[in-house]
Structures are given as structure tokens and as C-alpha cells.
A and B are shown apart, each in its own frame.
Chain A
Amino acid sequence: MVLKTETFMLNAGPQHPSTHGVFRMRLTLDGEVIQDMEPVFGYLHRGIEKLAEGLSYSQNMVFTDRLDYLASMTNNHAYVVSVEKLAGVQVPERAEYLRVIMAELMRISSHLMAVGFLLNDLGAFMTPLLYMYREREKILDLFDMVCGQRLTYNYMRIGGVSQDVPEEFLPALKRLIDSLPRFIEEYEQLLMTNEIMLVRTKDVGTLSKELAISYSAAGPVLRASGVKWDIRKADPYSLYSRFNFEVPVGTKGDVYDRYRVRIAEMHQSISIIKQAMEQIQPGDIQTKISRIFKPAKGEAYGHIEGPKGELGFYLVSDGSANPYRWHMRPPSLINLTALRELLIGVKIADAMAIFGSIDICVGEVDR
């Protein structure tokens, strides 16, 4: 007897515990198996790119905080790198070191969240996530110390940073950096030898090297597929050419590899911060720029390696105080384009794991 079966449509999102905000997937299901997926986004669209055209270059800094709200500091960094490239501003060395320290701390914090939410999507009832929140809190305390904010920092300025770090910052940072590897090891011991964790992540959502490149994926998603591509090495900005660090890559490009790459990157970030702490010298933190900042006519694309991938800003100046065009390359959105390819043929449970492993932030997807 041949059963007559039908596919049906399931709406996952925008209100769904695993869609990390307000992302929506229209899933066509055959039983539990996904036949097709249509992503729907834009629920969090605020028109930031258009708004930015009406404000001056330095006023736009606050918008960058609100893009990827789990990694505001790196958004700041990407934006100042782009503006400085557009206007040719030099940055004092101490400011660069501070930027690197902040960006790497932010990367650790963002990766902690990525891994924590991935585990949450796999069904580990909140426990790993809350442990990762504990470490993230310590990083946020440091940010609080330097700029008085815990989520939207607005710390970096065109040509430097808004203020120097207080005296107690570097000792506190050292304490944190010394304790972090132990905690990261702890999470790994808890979960990475766990059979359930392994069967849920290994060979699930495999993104091949070619596919990853053709979808223009970046960051941990690309590196997990085995492509050694890191903007910090490929096109060094700031002071990254001065530091020794590895670019961890995966082999298969499955959920497990993406997880491993993030854990390994946290260790590398710790190593970069250690080197930066040794090299940092007292000095200026801000280049003098004119109060009404008007870059010459032209365009520039500056990019950095954000926690989620290549984070870039394309700026066009018409010589006035406001940007003529302010466009962002959002790594979350571009990594997300490969999602449909990964989801077809897997079960709903795996779909959530794969979605979690891509690590998107809807604030950045929708802008």
C-alpha cells in the first residue's frame, strides 16, 4: 500500500524561541523533514543606512552600536576604520592598542554568546548559556569601566577612542585574561566529550568549501569549512600585523566544526590581548580632527574581521559633513544566505542547531 502524504507549511518565527530575535522561516515540511525553506526578514528594519545619510560622520557612531548589539565594539571599530580610510586620518598608537583589546574582548563575548545559544538550541536547558553569561558579565564589567556602558558602548571615535582607560583597567583585564582559559576548558570538558552533543553536531549542516566561498560566507562559518581566510591576516588593519596568532580552521564545515572554530578563536583572542597588554605604552589616544569633519570627495570601503565575519562599511563622501552613502556589509545576513542550502533534507531539530551555529544577530540582518 502506498500512503498518500502531503507536505505542509510551518511558520518558524518571527516569534519563535530559536530564531534569535525576529527572523522568520517558512518551512515546507514532509513529516519532520524540511523540503524547502524561505527566509523572511525585515521585522527589525529601522532604516539605519538611510538615517545615517542625514547625520554627520561622528553622529553615526551611535547607529553602529545598534546593528549587531552583541558585538557593538567591533561595529564601532569597523566604522572608524572605514571613516579613517575615507578621510586619511592617522590614529595614535595607544588608541590602536586599546581598540584591539576592546575588539578582541568583544569577540570573546560574542563567541561565548554564539556557543551558548547554539547549546541552548540543542536543548541543553539554559545551563551552558548561563555559565557563558557569567564570563560575558566580567567582560561587560570591563567595558563598563572604560566607557560607562554595558551594551551600546559608543567608545571609539574618528581618529582615536573617546577616553583613556582608568588605572584599574589593565590589572582587572589581566585577572580576567588569566582566568578565562580555565573557564573555556570547563565548558569544553562538560560538553565536547558528551555523546549526545557529538551526535547532534557532527555531520550536521555540512557546508562545503566551494559552497561557502560561492555564498561569500565569512568568519567562523567560512573557516569551519576549511578556508583559511581572516581579514586580520589577509588584509591587516589596525595593528594586527604586530601580533602572533593562528587562524583556526575546521575540516568538514558541520555544526561541530563551527563550534570548535569559535572555541579556538577565543583562545587566540586571549593570546592577542596578552600581547597587546605587553606592548601598550602611555600616549595620546585621540588625533585632533576638525570639529566639523568633512572628508574630501571620494569613497572608501573599510573592513575588519568581526566576530561573525567580514564586517565592512562602504562610505561615499560628497565633500559635505554628512555621508552621501552609508552602506554596511552585514556578515550575519550574508552568512544567512547559505541557510536554505543547509536546511533542505534535515529534520526540524537539526534546522535549529544549524541556524544557531551560523550565529546571526537580527539587528544586523535587518539594519
Chain B
Amino acid sequence: MSVFHNILPAVFDSAPLASDWPGGFWAHMIIFIVILFIFVIFMAMAFIYFERRVISRFQIRIGPNRIGPFGLLQPVADVIKILIKEDIVPFNADKILHLLAPMAAITPAIMVFAVIPFMNGASLVDLNIGILYIVAISSVSVIGLVMAGWGSNNKYALISAMRVIAQVVSYEIPMALVIIGVVLFSGTLSMNGIVQAQSIPYILLQPLGFVIYFLAAMAEINRTPFDMLEAEGEIVAGFNIEYSGFKFALFFLTEYTEAIAISAIITTLYLGGWKGPFLPPVLWFLIKVFAVFALIIWVRATLPRLRIDQVMGFAWKCMLPLAIINLLITACQVIFLPDLSQWVLVVANFVITGILIVLWSRFFRITGDKVET
């Protein structure tokens, strides 16, 4: 039972420990799950508002500012609107798959939060294989999207489903490989352990790993420039084209939940998680999560989309070799230079990253042949 930690004692020092709770372990587990759900939903709404406002600034617009102060209640209005919409099921759809798909998509997305440490020890469960659990769970989400694509009996949705399988499966591999780099440095698979092991954020020790993880994560959650899944100019809305009302809301929530999860994982693995001076750890965690998400929005607001074959080529020809090289270098550093000062490693790794990226951009082009500007 000792692996289960409690958020409440961490937030309020006076709260009783799990073992003292009436109803014991299960009662406190259920309370935590409720807290986590509320957190995820509120964060998703905050992210929706944040994205809309930030992207408006990029696009010389103002963004939602009518409902509530600074338009803060806009997500609430959106939710109400979406929930009172008619739920349409296409006549020829596979009714069961069509119904189950949103649930199959959102469940793994929320399950990821079980192991995210919001502050020292404040996670639902501090699994000793935390990061492995995340890698395993986050790829399950795809099944929901494929079910939606197939179950809608719509050609656009089907194309989208085929794209998402190919894309997500490809990007899992470099993603998992660079995570091993982090694990080699920290010596633990536990998420809280990884944060505690970071005397300096791993983005400094693993710059190449961060870049690869960030790009692979964007592909994983289908963000521009890898938003093959719902490329609105090509396949309209992709897998969720036949969804409306509450089911659509669930898909929308999935998308943002995954974005929060990815931001939180990047924060934990590379940015030192809840660590930081002066401010309370939870605040540091949230600030970092929002900073990562702002970076994702920035990319979305700027770049055009790649084509599906280019996306796949990028994963296999560029990300995978670089991830393997990153793993090799990290392993060598951990085995042969364990006593070297961290700051020497920081400088060395930044130089190596620069060289590798320049080299790769010299002889690798997304289409395979050289492009003259």
C-alpha cells in the first residue's frame, strides 16, 4: 500500500493519511479519481481558452472576449452548446462501434494522469514503472480513433483512421527510444523518481532527446504540422466527421486531454517537473505545462501541414536514426563518464545536437531529394 500517495496531505499538511481514512484504500482512491477528473476537465477548458486566445494573437485577432471577464467563460458556453446538440448517428454506421469509440478514446487519455506527479509524491499512484505505463497507455487511445473512423461508415473518416494508425505507430518508436535516454540518466522508471533525479532539467542534458520527443509527441496528439488525422483542408474533420453532441464533445476533450498529458509528460521528463524556486511546486508544474502547450500552439499557428508520406518518411528516416544515436550517446555517457561534471555534459550534448541536426538536414530531405531555395 505504500506506493499509493495522497494528494490531499501534500496540499493541506493537516489532512489525514490514506490508511486513516474511513473506508480505507478504496474510498480514498475514488476521491482521488474524482479530483483527477475534475482537474483534467478544468485543465482542458483552460487549454481551450488559452489556445483560442493565444492563436488569436498570432492571427492579429482578439479571440473570445464576450462571455465572462476576458471571455473566460467561453469554454463553458461551448460545452453547453455542444451538449444540447442533437446526437446524430448515421444510418449505415456500425452503431455499437460508433457509440463506444469516444469512450475508448478518452479513457486511456485520462488514465495517463494516474502517474503524473503534480508535486513531490502527489500522484494517484507512483508506479515504479510509471513511464513504461504511459508509453503503453497512450498508444491505446488510437483504437478509439480507428473505431470512430471505421464505425462512422464515412470515407473521410476511414481515410483518417488509416492515417492515424500509420502515423501513431511510427512515432511511438522514436518516442520510446528517447525516453530510454532519460531513464538512463535518472536510473528509474518512476515519474516522481525522474523528477527527483533532475538536479538540472534534462532538457539541458538531453537536448536532442527533447527535440525528438517534442516532435513525436506532436505527431502523437495530431498537432500541426502532423495533423493528418483531422486535416480540415483535405479530409474535412477526419475521424470525428460523423459525430455530434456529447460524443463529439468527448473527442474534443480527448484531443485536449492528450495535449495536457503530453505537456505534463514533457514537463516531467525534460523540464524538471514540479521543481523550481520560490513558487509552490504545483504552480511550477502548471506554469511549465502551459509553457510547453504555448510552444505547441506557436508551431500550430505558424507552419503548414506535411503530406502523409512525408510525415512517415520523417519518422523513419530522420527521427528513428537520430533517436538511436541519442540513445547510444547517452548510454556511453552514463557508462563511461559517470563522474564527469553535469555542465560539461550539457555543453557537449548541445554541441552534439547541433552537429547532428545540421548533418541530418544536409543529407536528409523530407521528400528524399534536395530542394533548392
Contact = CB atoms under 8 A, between A and B. Distances in A.
Q: Do the two chains belong together in a single complex?
A: yes
Interface string A99-127: 00000000000000000000111111111
A214 interface: no
B153 interface: no
Contact of B305 (A122, A134, A195): A122
Contacts of B304: 119, 122-124, 191, 194, 196-197, 200
A194 B303 CA distance: 8
Contacts of A202: 371
A134 B61 CA distance: 10
A119 B301 CA distance: 12
Main secondary structure of the interface of B (DSSP, over half): loop
Contacts of B371: 195, 198-199, 202
Interface of B: 55, 58-61, 155-156, 159, 162, 224-225, 227, 231-236, 300-310, 365-367, 371, 373
B373 A123 contact: no
B310 A199 contact: yes
Given A119-B304, A193-B373, A196-B306, A348 B155 contact: no
Nearest to B369: A203
A10 B302 contact: no
B159 A127 contact: no
B307 A16 contact: no
A175 B123 CA distance: 60
A186 B371 CA distance: 22
Given A18-B234, A123-B224, A195-B366, A200 B373 contact: no
Contacts of A125: 55, 224, 300-301
Interface string A315-346: 00000000000000000000000000000000
Given A8-B155, A130-B61, A196-B303, 6 more contacts: A119-B304, A123-B224, A127-B59, A134-B60, A196-B225, A196-B304
Nearest to B301: A127
Contacts of A16: 236
B293 to A, nearest CB: 15
A119 B224 CA distance: 13
Contacts of A200: 304-307, 310
A364 interface: no
Nearest to A15: B236
A289 interface: no
A361 B65 CA distance: 33
B224 A17 contact: no
A82 B234 CA distance: 40
B302 A127 contact: yes
Contacts of B232: 17
A contact residues, range:
35 or more
A120 to B, nearest CB: 7
Contacts of A127: 58-59, 301-302
A96 interface: no
A123 B305 contact: yes
Contacts of A85: none
B299 to A, nearest CB: 10
Interface string A124-137: 11110011001000
Contacts of B366: 195-196, 199
A32 interface: yes
A125 B232 CA distance: 9
A352 interface: yes
Interface string A153-177: 0000000000000000000000000
Most chain B beta-carbon neighbours within 10 Å: one of A123, A134, A348:
A123
B205 to A, nearest CB: 28
A212 B181 CA distance: 54
B185 to A, nearest CB: 31
Contacts of A195: 366, 371
Contacts of A123: 224-225, 227, 231, 233, 304-305
A65 interface: no
B61 A18 contact: no
Contact of A347 (B58, B162, B305, B309): B309
Nearest to B366: A199
A347 B301 contact: no
A123 B61 CA distance: 19
Nearest to A121: B233
A10 B60 CA distance: 36
B308 A10 contact: no
A192 interface: yes
Interface in A190-233: 190-200, 202
A124 B303 contact: yes
A350 interface: yes
11 contacts: A10-B155, A17-B232, A31-B162, A122-B305, A123-B305, A124-B305, A131-B59, A194-B303, A198-B373, A199-B310, A350-B307
Contact of B365 (A17, A121, A199, A347): A199
A51 interface: no
Contact of A126 (B59, B155, B225): B59
Contacts of B224: 123, 125
Most chain A beta-carbon neighbours within 10 Å: one of B55, B300, B301, B371:
B371
A349 interface: yes
Given A131-B60, A348-B234, A32 B367 contact: no
B225 to A, nearest CB: 6
